[in-house]
Structure 1
């Protein structure tokens, strides 16, 4: 008991009930109290909340208006479905109108349809109906279009029970909004039988204290917020081998065992004011020796044990009376009468209301029950209705009902619960989180799936990998083929999918071939296995303990797959504990702690302390931009403190609206290339002592010697203060006056002399790059010193990097930055490695290339250099750009790898020549007019922020002070660069400003 009180104090239960005791304990006087009073009496059972005196008047007044039949009907709860036809609705309406039933239990359907039915039935009812629902994991258990919370078994793995209290409170809020009064939850069965066919994943686990604490949190969350909880399935359905939906389970346990184990959680919840109990259909000879006597129909169990011995005063519901455990022995009507005589208050799922009333009246006539006893139970029901607010019932408002039930706080709570439940059971040699991406060839394998899974899509956000599936009916030949395809991969990330929710007779759907495949792979690869399903299925995967990593995810939802992928790569950590023992390898309480936050995590705005509702302006701005033809579409990503909280795709690739933009589509980054390639390489080399911004171009690039560029300092070059011309239209030198290309420049077909692709059916001379570099070196310097934005030095940057490193420009970037970051889409000439339908086209070039540019760089100069340059040409997704920007945000550190030496990015992001009116950093753009709504940065960004924009409509910004990373990708130049609406509307900076407005609102709450 002492331990129980301590655990519940996290909900202020003990403090609320016994403030004087807590205060005395603090003063060291607890011993004196215990000497003066009986300890048990101090913690006497708390009455259910509806038994308070203030609810008696309304209950008495209503009872006085009811006939005998109407009083009996108040104890009847009938089933209804909101996904059935008008005939069904009319039949329920008739029972409500003609017989005055006390309540309705709703099953499958939708919230709006159900609300409409509730309103209809309540208006027909003389006494407000008590509306109930089975919502063990929230309303989603029965209703579509609602938020799904984790199964109770997953919740059993959570170490922070306050989260479960929050869930109870949210379930209550949603239930009240939907017109529901009673939730038949929590399941308090102690599931100590792994082969239990009906409870299993529905229970919190196999250990009574854990089950109790979790159940109490759920119960308190609901009842503190005005919804009646119902503990089930009394006296405990956790150790059965028969599903009472189909047969009658028999419990051959001693009463001592029942009291110490099965009854323990029920008693503890009753002591804390439990509102109602649901009695199961089970035969328990030690409590009732009658043959075929289900507990729900047993007076020794319901009255003698539950009411008298355990002292329970709350509402007592039967389990559904149409279940075969009782229905096979007694017809409708008779089963209801027997349940009432046993001591139950509410008869659940009465299938024949007239017959039930008639049988109960007959029992009254025979003296088997008195009218006074029936009235006592009706009064209890009416008091509960008054506590539920049904004495002042108002119709359910159906406007915005779906939106209200899917509120952002509830969605985030589901994320928090799921994240807290994930249980890491093995982590050999700290294989998790996965590191060293540059040296590891990774594959994902979904076992039990016919196509790529959500898990695999989410994994790919972190690193490029090959994906494979092994279907449920996979055979030996499939195993051989997979083994061949996976031979060159060092790491295999396996997801087990499509598992049966209950065991049945098929090992949860795990075939011998699946087990053989896994064991084969574990013999020769590093394998991490994530099991998306009933946790008991782990015991059916022989040899699973030999995997390098094992993760129990408890169920297969998009959310569990998403969060498991994040955990594998270190976006989030792990803290769950196994609530049941699976075998000798995986036992109750097992669960390794794993720290997260080493890579980007993906969450909702609530995950960073913001409100989803406060960011709706972003969507509006994007929709306005698309409608106003500033852009055909785009990708947006915003992260705070390393957590991506906004990541969306909008619109289409082009204005013909044929191809929707997806999050894994690649955009031409234009001048964002400068900070993503040239500057990235320089900063990396700076950290190695191989590059110094105070040294000249001529020092690093021999070709610059003897030219007017030789003595230009890189500090001046990177801040665009080196007197370089802004740009040179190189392509114009290739065209004759008649518009044709000069013979030594371009050809329609590739050849040994013209091997470099500039566009489709256009190839440039193999030595033409020399002419471009020569033109740069021979170009005059600006006459006046000062800031002039120039591409020229960045065109030369790849040659500088190659001179310093002896490696090709892209290979250097890929090996030292992109691969370690897992940024596999950051690439030049994406048409070589990606399907064209993943690459967003840019401009229709009517002057130079005479075609729509699709998969080829937009910038003419970069195109003439074979698509590879330091000023333009890089393509990528917003997600991969964000990885590089996070590297910059955290001063060169990402995934616990210092890829750029500490201090370098910080130094390059600083303003160098602010006193001269040049607000740029070295390579980075910075706010040139802080606070200016029409400036190059959002007005509210910090002065320490930096980033860059691109001609095609791209933009990225980093705010170290607020730990913000922002990436905006679009193709505003489609179909023509003359479209400048993106600038007129200030789309990119206005979107970022919406984030700062949301932050301000959050700070002012």
Structure 2
């Protein structure tokens, strides 16, 4: 384009259609350097933004250089600056792990401290800004009231709608105070499903009254508190749409009727990735882009395939030219994107700190919140703390990521390293076959069993019961999610950390040996357990 839409402020009717459409797309790519495909999308398809995944991340200096290189590509092509986004939720969804890796949102929910969360959000936002990242697809505003949920779980603050809204709004406010756009997700709510929308289309059958009382509450709070952006979910809500095959992302009743008109949300509305199976394997990615924009999305994500990215942009242009999408709908979305870019890139704001200036504060915030969130759910026999002058036996299990959204960079068995920090002799028993495992204990030993998603792995519960029968001094520590207690309801000592980020494993180890109190408050109800 001959001039920059941010500085020239051309009337929207004077901006060519292909430029307006391209600005509505955010795309991802493979590798730690810009690919030819992504450069072409920016220069010839007027791409509006980039999303980073772990595959793009190597080091802080590399990410900062990558961001600058991408902005240079846009600038040299005469394009507006790019929105550069990522998913830095904390816990199992953390694209960066050098500093700004908070514990999971459920661990933050266990702190019950919105003031601290706002401060934490600001710290994370400052670190992201130092790397050239202007948008964070967080916080998660889903109410996780279904223990069988395979994709949200500890990514949620908990199962209390009011608490989720208060804590989510606090975290979002912190991001925004650092100049990073916060994007709450996944509207209208992904918390009460037993299906992962990365893999198929979930359906939430609840009536409107139930949705108002639970799912909508955090989103209304976030809107009232001024959140910048919201992300849609690929879930069917037949109580709103009358159709159990229509994802919310593609529904005008959900996005325009409910969110824009009833909730009066005027921020950016972003689709979840249109290459997830709930879209890609039903209507298809390109058709999904058409329907999402027509329904009310301002920005659509196509995170992986260059062919699908180009096809989707070109299909939307064709749909506007044919009258399938009114050009006024594209104009509205384009103007909203341009408004946010103007705010991000032309308004006077302090220069971001360098990464080295932000990282220590980020790490300290993560450590503090992990210690405050770690929760001793019960300790009926005063088993804790363990004696560090005697050996501690750690029985651990192998575990894999539960959802395609997760970053599978850590091993729950790293708990042994955290325990050994305390100058304690740690004997590690890694169990790969729960059915064949025979414990070696004969009574009197100090044993930690670190469960991992035990509700779906009944062999772990068998191991716990048999070790308990050996009259050992036993503490069960969940390193994945708190719902493991339902699998071992008779455990007399049960501790949970809501995830296994390094800071959280260190905090759990400190609880076991008495260096931390484990005073977090369980933010969810465990089924069948008082």
Which of the five TM-score ranges fits, normalised by the shorter chain? 0.7 to 0.9
Question: Structure 1 residue 425: deviation in Å?
Answer: 1.3
Moved more, 328-337 or 340-349: 328-337
Secondary structure of the structure 1 residue equivalent to 2:28: strand
1:276–1:316 contact (8 Å) kept in structure 2: yes
Match of 1:538 in 2: 485
1:159–1:575 contact (8 Å) kept in structure 2: no
Query: Which whole-Å CA distance do the structure 2 matches of 1:180 and 1:564 have between them?
Result: 31
RMSD: 3.1
1:132 to 57, 62, 85: 85
* Structure 1 residues 299-698: aligned runs within 5 Å: 299-349=252-302, 351=305, 352-389=308-345, 401=355, 403-404=356-357, 407-434=359-386, 443-448=392-397, 455-456=415-416, 459=419, 467-474=427-434, 478-479=438-439, 482-484=440-442, 487=443, 489=444, 492-496=446-450, 499-500=452-453, 507-508=456-457, 510-511=459-460, 513-521=462-470, 524-544=471-491, 547=492, 549-586=493-530
Secondary structure of the structure 1 residue equivalent to 2:261: helix
After superposition, the C-alpha distances for 1:879-914 in whole angstroms (9 at most, x for unaligned) are xxxxxxxxxxxxxxxxxxxxxxxxxxxxxxxxxxxx
- Relative distance call for 1:493 and 1:122 in structure 2 (3 A) is same
Query: Which whole-Å CA distance do the structure 2 matches of 1:68 and 1:161 have between them?
Result: 43
1:187 aligned onto 2:140: yes
1:254 to 207, 230, 243: 207
Question: Structure 1 residue 314: deviation in Å?
Answer: 0.6
Query: Which whole-Å CA distance do the structure 1 matches of 2:496 and 2:350 have between them?
Result: 44
Secondary structure of the structure 1 residue equivalent to 2:474: strand
Moved more, 355-364 or 90-99: 355-364
After superposition, the C-alpha distances for 1:760-795 in whole angstroms (9 at most, x for unaligned) are xxxxxxxxxxxxxxxxxxxxxxxxxxxxxxxxxxxx
Query: Which whole-Å CA distance do the structure 2 matches of 1:82 and 1:62 have between them?
Result: 37
Match of 1:89 in 2: 35
- Relative distance call for 1:94 and 1:539 in structure 2 (3 A) is same
1:105–1:349 contact (8 Å) kept in structure 2: no
* Structure 1 residues 232-247: aligned runs within 5 Å: 232-247=185-200
Number of residues paired by the alignment?
505
- Relative distance call for 1:575 and 1:133 in structure 2 (3 A) is same
Moved more, 462-471 or 524-533: 462-471
After superposition, the C-alpha distances for 1:238-279 in whole angstroms (9 at most, x for unaligned) are 001111001000111101111111011101110111100101
* Structure 1 residues 194-233: aligned runs within 5 Å: 194-233=147-186
* Structure 1 residues 779-790: aligned runs within 5 Å: none
* Higher Cα Rg, which structure: 1
- Relative distance call for 1:200 and 1:459 in structure 2 (3 A) is closer
After superposition, the C-alpha distances for 1:525-577 in whole angstroms (9 at most, x for unaligned) are 33222222222222223532xx2x22112222443333223223332223201
2:88–2:101 contact (8 Å) kept in structure 1: no
2:6–2:341 contact (8 Å) kept in structure 1: no
Match of 2:25 in 1: 76
After superposition, the C-alpha distances for 1:615-671 in whole angstroms (9 at most, x for unaligned) are xxxxxxxxxxxxxxxxxxxxxxxxxxxxxxxxxxxxxxxxxxxxxxxxxxxxxxxxx
Match of 2:48 in 1: 102
2:416–2:428 contact (8 Å) kept in structure 1: no
Question: Structure 1 residue 334: deviation in Å?
Answer: 1.8
Query: Which whole-Å CA distance do the structure 2 matches of 1:452 and 1:381 have between them?
Result: 40
1:448–1:496 contact (8 Å) kept in structure 2: yes
2:99–2:360 contact (8 Å) kept in structure 1: no
Question: Structure 1 residue 283: deviation in Å?
Answer: 1.0
- Relative distance call for 1:448 and 1:333 in structure 2 (3 A) is closer
Query: Which whole-Å CA distance do the structure 2 matches of 1:344 and 1:123 have between them?
Result: 27
- Relative distance call for 1:348 and 1:395 in structure 2 (3 A) is farther
Query: Which whole-Å CA distance do the structure 2 matches of 1:461 and 1:80 have between them?
Result: 39
Secondary structure of the structure 1 residue equivalent to 2:438: helix
2:99–2:362 contact (8 Å) kept in structure 1: no
Match of 2:66 in 1: 117
2:49–2:85 contact (8 Å) kept in structure 1: yes
Unaligned runs of 5+ in 2: 400-410
1:156 aligned onto 2:116: no
Question: Structure 1 residue 144: deviation in Å?
Answer: 5.0
Query: Which whole-Å CA distance do the structure 1 matches of 2:11 and 2:127 have between them?
Result: 28
Question: Structure 1 residue 122: deviation in Å?
Answer: 1.5
After superposition, the C-alpha distances for 1:337-378 in whole angstroms (9 at most, x for unaligned) are 111111111011165344334332333334343333322221
Question: Structure 1 residue 332: deviation in Å?
Answer: 3.3
Query: Which whole-Å CA distance do the structure 2 matches of 1:566 and 1:444 have between them?
Result: 15
Query: Which whole-Å CA distance do the structure 2 matches of 1:395 and 1:268 have between them?
Result: 31
Query: Which whole-Å CA distance do the structure 2 matches of 1:327 and 1:216 have between them?
Result: 31
1:277 to 230, 240, 245: 230
- Relative distance call for 1:243 and 1:474 in structure 2 (3 A) is closer
Secondary structure of the structure 1 residue equivalent to 2:448: strand
2:84–2:132 contact (8 Å) kept in structure 1: yes
1:133–1:184 contact (8 Å) kept in structure 2: yes
Secondary structure of the structure 2 residue equivalent to 1:319: strand
Secondary structure of the structure 2 residue equivalent to 1:582: coil
Secondary structure of the structure 1 residue equivalent to 2:328: helix
- Relative distance call for 1:392 and 1:583 in structure 2 (3 A) is same
Unaligned runs of 5+ in 1: 1-55, 587-1005
Question: Structure 1 residue 291: deviation in Å?
Answer: 5.3
Query: Which whole-Å CA distance do the structure 2 matches of 1:162 and 1:57 have between them?
Result: 35
Query: Which whole-Å CA distance do the structure 2 matches of 1:474 and 1:356 have between them?
Result: 47
Question: Structure 1 residue 511: deviation in Å?
Answer: 3.1
Question: Structure 1 residue 171: deviation in Å?
Answer: 1.4
* Structure 1 residues 842-881: aligned runs within 5 Å: none
- Relative distance call for 1:476 and 1:395 in structure 2 (3 A) is same
After superposition, the C-alpha distances for 1:172-195 in whole angstroms (9 at most, x for unaligned) are 101110111110000000010000
1:59–1:383 contact (8 Å) kept in structure 2: no
Question: Structure 1 residue 395: deviation in Å?
Answer: 11
